[in-house]
Amino acid sequence: MFAVIKTGGKQFKIAKGDVLEIEKIEGAAGETVTFTEVLATGESGKLAQIGTPFIEGATVTAELLEQTKDDKVIIFKKKRRHNYRRRNGHRQPITIVRITDILIKGAKKADASEAAAKKAKIAEE
């Protein structure tokens, strides 16, 4: 299953287990983050649902791995024949996250105990 989410003014196509570098969001390493701006979902390359603009009740949860800075971007200004040169640099703060779950239409994350109970019930029948 995949989803398209919007965060930091950008859109990302994600699947469970993906690791992303996104614009900085608040939180410390190890915390769980929820993205509610889900634009589209699908299965194995086939588009299942498109939001208008977002899919109602769909959420994506992710684990915050690290708060860091991106590579340095050099800003260089020059005006020819005026002896004007300015060199500057910038490192954008980013957050690295791992996608843990994609939930559609208010579906709740299945607990291991619930799954075990269903398996036991099926085994009894």
Give the count of domains, the chain: 1
User: Tokens at residue 23, please?
Assistant: 């614009």
Radius of gyration of the chain (CA): 21
34-66 pLDDT tens trace: 999 999 999 887 888 888 899 999 999 999 999
Residue 113 confidence (pLDDT): 53
User: Tokens at residue 29, please?
Assistant: 């390493």
- pTM of this prediction? 0.74
The domain of 113 spans 2-124
Q: 1 with 14: CB under 8 angstroms?
A: no
Residue 51 confidence (pLDDT): 87
Residue 46 confidence (pLDDT): 80
pLDDT beneath 70, residues of the chain = 106-125
| Count of residues making up the chain | 125
Residue 111 confidence (pLDDT): 53
| Closest residue by Cα to residue 50 from 7, 4, 85, 15 | 4
